[in-house]
């Protein structure tokens, strides 16, 4: 299992990134997960990558600012579905800025949930 590195201070992150909206959203998700799971946060990578994997919880979380672009949506769903299948996980989430839906695929459920709602859970 591999780890990614994130900034605890999003102000510093702003100095180094170009795609700010997506990277800030991913950093917010990391900070929230870090509060709960500390150093047990990984990412899952085979042919594609899933942003967050918490093995003890069998939790997969993908972050995408928006899924309105069909190519982005397909890429995110494909990566998450492959990881879910390999790890035999039945539910996962894609955190977005403001989109919400539920996607059923091969007896698996992917919840698309806006960041504000996810943070309140």
| 43 and 37 Cβ atoms separated by less than 8 Å | no
pLDDT of 21 reads 75
pLDDT of 19 reads 61
pLDDT of 22 reads 80
pLDDT of 55 reads 94
pLDDT of 87 reads 95
pLDDT average per 10 residues of sequence, the chain (121 residues) = 61 61 86 91 90 95 96 95 95 97 93 97 89
The reply to whether CATH 2.60.40 applies to domain 10-119 is: no
| 69 and 81 Cβ atoms separated by less than 8 Å | no
Question: What is the torsional sign of CA 92, 121, 117, 21?
Answer: negative
How much is the pTM? 0.86
């Amino acid at each position: 299992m591999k780890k990614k590195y994130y900034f605890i201070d999003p102000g510093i992150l702003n100095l180094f990134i170009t795609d700010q909206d997506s990277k800030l959203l991913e950093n917010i998700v990391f900070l929230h997960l870090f509060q709960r799971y500390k150093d047990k946060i990984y990412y899952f990578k085979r042919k594609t990558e899933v942003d967050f994997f918490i093995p003890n919880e069998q939790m997969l979380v993908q972050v995408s600012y928006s899924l309105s672009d069909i190519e982005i949506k397909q890429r995110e769903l494909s990566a998450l579905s492959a990881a879910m299948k390999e790890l035999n996980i039945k539910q996962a989430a894609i955190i977005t800025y403001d989109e919400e839906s539920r996607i059923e695929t091969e007896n698996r459920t992917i919840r698309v949930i806006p960041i504000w709602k996810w943070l309140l859970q």
